[in-house]
A and B are shown apart, each in its own frame.
Chain A
Amino acid sequence: MTATSTVTPPMASAVRISGRAPIARLTWLLARPSAQSAAVLVLPAIAFAVTTALMLIVLGGALMFWRWTPDETPDSGVYQMLSVLALALLLVPLASLGGAAARLSARRRDDRLATLRLLGATPSVVTRMTVLESTAVAVLGSLVGVVLYLAAMPLVGLIPFAGAPIGGGELWVGFGVLALVILAVAALAALSAAIGLRQVTISPLGVRTRQSAPKMHWMRIVLGVLIIAVAFGGLSAFPTIGDYVVMIAILGTAFAVGVAVLNLIGPWAISVAAKMSLRRASTPAKLLAARGILESPKAAWRQVSGVAMTSFVSVVAGTGIAFVNTLTGDYEADTFLLLADVQTGITITVVASFLMVACSVGVNQAAGILDRRDLYVSLDRLGMPREVIEKSRSRTVMSPLRFVTLGSALIGAVLVLPLVGISIVVAPLSIVTIAGCLVGGVLLVWLSLKATTPVLTRVLSQPERL
């Protein structure tokens, strides 16, 4: 460097400018752990890891049934059909967990990206950076997920099907499916990042400038009922079903319709329930929780919707099986095994879907605390007791969860009311098992919520850092 009396800024012409932003370099620069906590990258990575591991285990189980042949297992067709049903049931919570991970990874970058926009980065640069980073985090997370999956295989392999433990090796999906799952997770992350970041790229100013709470239109329920009516009419057009493939197709369609309708009605129902509790709210925690849900009924629904279908199906199918099981005692051994296996399958599906919901609740809550850290710190300074913050956080998740679990279980129970009555008398254990699964699931979500308390404690114990 030569000594000069005046500082001359480097002339633009002196540097060769390619006109293209070095996306990868910029992304790496911004991705390095800095003043912001490492949680920014670690949390979504964990979420992606859990998503991948659960997806692989579920797929492994389903694929196992599809390898069965009628020669070895006479009812293999039934198993295969039911495995598709279970897959479909788990698709919703899995997608919402994956979505939570992807949104988290995208949302955590909002502030920096908005700044980049202000500095003159074009929307496409910002979008490509986000997509690149989210995808990298997703791939990394899903590789960890593969390890988790391999570690869990022997344990899951202890579950008995067709009279014997399935064995860990049976759950191996093969390298092809493994690669596909990682690709799918990466694609989900990339897509979510691209969609989620639109607001930031549109306006460099203000990421959180939402002014009014979204309104849920009552037309949702009308539309929902209409869709059910049309679908029901359509389904009854198939009089007899012989082929498994046709049956699976119909089941799949019925499922897709059911999920679509639930997604239409769910947020609306949650917002109605929250409005009612807002009016009645007598304590700060209840008020905060109700307002928190109304802030985004869709997000509240998304978080717990995974258990809606599961809880419905587990009550209907579980009761049905319990009833059939006790109807006559002199079954062939095969049929008896099948019924027992269906019960096992229902239990697994319920547990898995609650596990996924619990994971996404944990991820969302941790992200929520980090997002609102200055608000929580200021509330703490104002003297708001920590229990109030905790209670309101808990209510914001648990009341929609209870509402959805109980609601769909009740609807299911009403549909098979006579069977429920009989089963309670003749097969109390089965009914207790179903109820126990649901209660256990709710408890699991609560635990995952409690697991995020240290994040709040850490945020509040370091107010000086603000």
Chain B
Amino acid sequence: MNFSTPSFPTNPTPPTTAFSAPAILSGSGLVKTYGSSTALAGVDIAVRAGESVAIMGASGSGKTTLLHTLAGITSPDSGRVEFQSAAGAVDVTAMNERDRSRLRREAFGFVFQQGLLIPELTAIENTALPLMLAGYPRREAEGRAQHWLAALGLAGMEARRIGELSGGQAQRVAIARAQVTGATVVFADEPTGALDSATSDDVMSALLGSTVGQGHALIVVTHDETVAARCSRIIRLRDGRTDATAGVAAGSTGTGVSA
């Protein structure tokens, strides 16, 4: 499958020129402890629109906690997360549970390692769900979902249940679900963790094409160097801090960011 010339449905957000734009999502001085163990010990991070950032590090280095904190899933003990929404800057850390849930639903997209799609729903129903949650009529939601599935090479599989799809196909449904609302930031936690290398490559292309290719930001937690190398930037964590000794720049192969 070729994703170099993706024809994804257009979203209302215009593509932003990378690196010149202000950060769409930023965290400063993020600290999070669980009991006696420190997951984040003061992390600063800024992600721009049209940028893909890989977060790497050993198990327990705090990468998933960082992702969850940036996404408003967990609240940091101290520090601040700011998101540049269409209506202006919002302080994610100051929001209550309900508002954060709404933010995740409407402004962010998520792709997890196992997809975690709802097994009894079909591919199109899974994809349309975020739109239905946002109040779209089902017909309209499924119409948009269908476009996304087709753009991700899943035309004809709309009515299949998740169990009838391969691992790579299921991840694409998850990608479609993450982008169907036009989320400007997509968070991916080991999106290729359960896939073989060829499929992993395909899924990564689809993920980059549908996010960065649309001018949106992508934040990927991964332990796979090949996956990280495809992002425009790598942030390495060690013991809850960004590792200064690690190389900063990664190859920008296939992301189309430099365009």
Contacts and interface: CB of A to CB of B under 8 A. Distances in A.
B105 A384 contact: yes
Contacts of B114: 374
Contact of A283 (B34, B104, B132, B164): B132
Contact of B133 (A284, A292, A294, A375): A284
A277 to B, nearest CB: 13
A282 B138 contact: yes
Interface stretch (A129-137, A207-215, A261-269, A302-310): A207-215
A361 to B, nearest CB: 19
B74 A464 contact: yes
Contacts of A213: 120, 161
Interface in B108-127: 108, 110, 112, 114, 116, 118-121, 125
Contacts of A241: none
Contacts of A281: 138
Interface string A198-227: 000000000011111100000000000000
Contact of A211 (B34, B74, B104, B164): B164
A211 B163 contact: yes
Contacts of A291: 118, 120-121, 125
A288 B118 contact: yes
Given A284-B129, A383-B105, A383-B106, A211 B161 contact: yes
B197 to A, nearest CB: 22
A463 interface: yes
Nearest to A295: B120
Nearest to B34: A464
Contacts of A381: 68, 71, 73, 104, 110, 112
Given A282-B138, A385-B133, A294 B108 contact: no
On chain B, which size bracket covers the interface? Answer: 20 to 34
Contacts of B163: 209-212
A382 B164 contact: no
Contact of B132 (A287, A295, A374, A463): A287
Given A291-B125, A378-B116, A463-B73, A383 B104 contact: yes
Interface in B191-233: none
Contacts of A383: 101-106, 108, 130, 133
A314 B166 CA distance: 51
A310 B110 CA distance: 47
14 contacts: A208-B119, A211-B163, A211-B164, A212-B161, A283-B132, A291-B121, A374-B114, A381-B68, A381-B71, A383-B102, A383-B108, A384-B129, A386-B101, A464-B34
Nearest to A386: B101
B121 A287 contact: yes
A388 interface: yes
B6 interface: no
Interface of B: 34, 68, 71, 73-74, 101-106, 108, 110, 112, 114, 116, 118-121, 125, 129-130, 132-133, 137-138, 161, 163-164, 177
Query: What 9 pairs between A and B have smallest CB-CB spacing?
Result: A383-B105, A383-B104, A378-B116, A211-B163, A295-B120, A291-B120, A284-B132, A383-B101, A381-B73
A117 B108 CA distance: 41
Nearest to A280: B138
A256 B102 CA distance: 52
Nearest to B101: A383
Nearest to B39: A464
Given A284-B132, A288-B118, A385-B101, 13 more contacts: A210-B163, A211-B161, A211-B164, A282-B138, A374-B116, A375-B119, A378-B116, A382-B177, A383-B101, A383-B108, A384-B101, A384-B129, A386-B101
Contacts of B132: 283-284, 287
Nearest to A381: B73
Contacts of B106: 383
A238 B71 CA distance: 73
A30 B215 CA distance: 51
Contacts of B105: 382-385
A464 B67 CA distance: 12
Given A212-B163, A384-B133, A287 B104 contact: no
Interface in A323-381: 374-375, 378-381
A382 B130 contact: yes
Contacts of A288: 118, 120-121
Contacts of A211: 161, 163-164
A381 B114 CA distance: 14
B5 to A, nearest CB: 29
A46 to B, nearest CB: 27
A388 B133 contact: yes
B133 A282 contact: no
